[in-house]
Amino acid sequence: MSHLLREHAPITEATWGLIDEEARERLTPALAARRLVDFAGPHGWEHSATNLGRARAVGGTPGDGIQALQRQVLAVVELRAPFALSRAELADADRGAEDVDFGPLDDAAHQLAAAENRTLFHGFPDAGITGIAEASTHEAITLGEDCAAYPRHVARAIEAMLRAGIDGPYGLALGPEAYTRVLETSEHGGYPLLDHLRKIIDGPLAWAPGVRGAVVVSLRGGDFLLDVGEDLSIGYTTHDAESVELYLVESLTFRVATPEAAVALTP
């Protein structure tokens, strides 16, 4: 039996299928970082750490004439978003209802996607993770609210990376506020700003809940490493007569191998 304990939930196989599908539909558009960084895994729930390929000197020694080094690893962090579904709604799903209320699941999916984006772009110091924006060695560029200037800011970011020898194609993660502004804006002649930005970066432009401002990254590969143990899954906690408590979970580590391969655009 899997650690997710799904078999213990009072949920039919067909409704588990609906729940999983709903989660996939909500998570996929919001997982901006996964569109831009390298992905390794999934290695499974038992995977506990990522090898950093480094060692540090240990203060003491277990014997005269012995030198001791200790390997350094990055411990996996588990991200979990609990939610509860109404048993009456799940029963209606079994009856074939098309408008089942998966609201709590949708909220949890959005929260977890935003948390993953935040972890990868802005870091999670308590878990030993440095984010892409924080790691960048380039001076941050202020994005501001004037959309007309966005193409110039993005072009400056790309130029900074080119000067550092970082090739494209590039990708752009835009926080929700900046993304909405871009979506609403047409330039002179009615050309959508979204398309203009896509042409400049020659790569994807991702809606990135959890991101402050925006981040331009190189997509050439090998610069940003997401190492996943358990990929996004839904597990079971408990239930009563009214509701079933479930959770979305994933386990991961993240490293920035090339800090020069990204430029932060601050709000």
Partner 1 sequence: MGFDQYHEPAHELPAETRTFARLCASLTEEAEAIGWYEQRMAVESDREASAIMRDAQGEEFKHFCMDLEFLLRRTPLWREIARGILFQEGDIVEHGEEAEEEAVEGAAARGAPLTGSTSLGIGSLKGVAS
CB of 253 to partner 1, least distance (A): 14
39 versus 156: smaller Cβ distance to partner 1: 39
What values do phi and psi take at 14, rounded to 5? -65, -40
CB of 177 to partner 1, least distance (A): 18
Residue 19's nearest CA partner among 95, 113, 94 is: 94
Q: Is 187 in the site for partner 1 (CB under 8 A)?
A: no
20 lies in the binding site for partner 1 (CB under 8 A): yes
**Residues 204-223 as x/- pattern, contact with partner 1 by CB under 8 A:** xxxx-----------x----
Choice from 10, 40, 94, 180 touching partner 1 (CB under 8 A): 40
Cα angle at 148 between 143 and 153, to 5 degrees?
40
Closest CA to 117 of 79, 64, 75, 159: 79
Considering the complex, state which of residue 141 and residue 201 has its C-beta at the smaller distance from partner 1: 201
Residue 8 sits in the site that holds partner 1 (CB under 8 A): no
* 255 contacts partner 1 (rule: CB under 8 A): no
Please tell me whether residue 6 binds partner 1 under the rule CB under 8 A: yes
Q: CA angle, corner 233, sides to 231 and 254, nearest 5?
A: 30
Contact flag: residue 37 with partner 1 (CB under 8 A): yes
Please, which of residues 123-162 interact with partner 1 by CB under 8 A?
none
Q: Which residue has the tokens 């430029």?
A: 263
Nearer to partner 1, 38 or 149 (CB): 38
236 contacts: CB under 8 Å, gap ≥ 6:
4, 5, 6, 8, 9, 11, 244, 245, 246
Mode of pairing for the β-strands spanning 262-266 and 141-142: parallel
- Which residue, 34 or 138, is less far from partner 1 as judged by CB? 34
Does 38 participate in binding partner 1 (rule CB under 8 A)?
Answer: yes
| Cα distance between residue 205 and residue 171, in whole Å | 6
Q: Does 24 bind partner 1 (CB under 8 A)?
A: yes
Q: Does the protein bind partner 1 through residue 112 (CB under 8 A)?
A: no
Binding to partner 1 by CB under 8 A, coded x per residue (else -) over 44-63, reads: x-------------------
Give the nearer residue to partner 1 in terms of CB position, either 214 or 234. 234
CB contact at 8 A, 239 and 9? yes
User: What are the residue ranges of helices labelled H in the chain?
Assistant: 13-30, 87-95, 103-122, 132-135, 150-163, 176-184, 193-201
Which lies closer to partner 1 via its Cβ, residue 37 or residue 143? 37
CB-based contacts of 132, cutoff 8 Å, min separation 6: 37, 120, 121, 215, 217, 224, 256, 262, 264
The site for partner 1 (CB under 8 A) is made up of 1-2, 4, 6-7, 13, 20, 23-24, 27-29, 31, 34-42, 44, 204-207, 219, 228, 230-234
